[in-house]
Amino acid sequence: MEQSAVSVDTVALRFWAGDDTVTLGVAPREWEPFRGRLALPGVLLGRGEQLVAAARRALTTKLGVPDEAIGAVGQLATFDEPNRDPRGPTLSIAMWAVVDEFAPAGQTATQWCSIGNPAKLAFDHNRILAEVRPLLSETLWRRTDFTRVLTGKRFAASRAVELTAALSGAAPDPGNLNRTLKAVPGLVRTEERVRVKATGRPAVVWEWSPDQ
């Protein structure tokens, strides 16, 4: 029986040392339909290919992210609107991925836009983002693999505030977030302080224990 095509569209997040918010990797489409329009990195699922492998392939081929820089990948939800792709019926399995810091090789058209206020994207990608964002927000500080790669091994408490604000859409109470961090398994509070903002008290440094 002839089937719908299956594409794997990935929400690729980064939150690097220089970034002041979480951003989302998008790239202009090379071919029709929507040629030139920004879109989530997506690939057609290969025969026998696993979802995580397809998501990684989307990031390397569409965003130019080196494979070593893909820190963690997971499943989100499936979208089955039959007219979502003008080429014909296409299932979209949405995945998330977190991108470690890397040095871009040469010029790429990849853009990193805010998740809270994303660019206008091709297909139904804005709808996918809207449905998927609350899931990501709930995953933060709960799933270690996801969170660990976003924060990096060591991070200041104020970075945790920015990260939470970016994913949830609202600034968290810093005190409550502090207690949330205390309860995250594998996360330990160091004696160290760092200055992050121009003024005010310096922030505590948190660190993931080595086995995480």
Residue 140, interface with DNA (CB under 7 A)?
A: no
User: Helix 174-183 and helix 157-168: axis angle, to 10°?
Assistant: 100
Distance, CA of 67 to CA of 44 (rounded, Å): 18
Residue 31, interface with a copy of itself (CB under 8 A)?
A: no
* Binding string, residues 38-67; x marks residues near a copy of itself by CB under 8 A: ------xxxxxxxx----------------
Minimum CB separation of residue 54 from a copy of itself in Å reads 9
**Which of 24, 91, 157, 203 touches a copy of itself (CB under 8 A)?**
91
Residue 195, interface with DNA (CB under 7 A)?
A: yes
Distance, CA of 189 to CA of 192 (rounded, Å): 8
Strand partners, 27: 39
Residue 200, interface with DNA (CB under 7 A)?
A: yes
**Which of 70, 73, 93, 150 touches a copy of itself (CB under 8 A)?**
93
**Which of 5, 130, 171, 188 touches a copy of itself (CB under 8 A)?**
5
Binding span for a copy of itself by CB under 8 A among 64-72, 86-94, 115-123, 183-191: 86-94
SS3 209: coil
**Which of 26, 157, 163, 187 touches DNA (CB under 7 A)?**
157
Give the DSSP letter of residue 69.
G
Please list, residue by residue across 197-208, b when 16 or more beta carbons sit within 10 angstroms of its beta carbon and e when fewer do.
eeeeeebbbbbb
Backbone angles phi, psi at 208, to 5 degrees: -80, 135
Instruction: Select the binding partner of residue 107 from a copy of itself, DNA, none (C-beta < 5 to 8 A, by kind).
Output: none
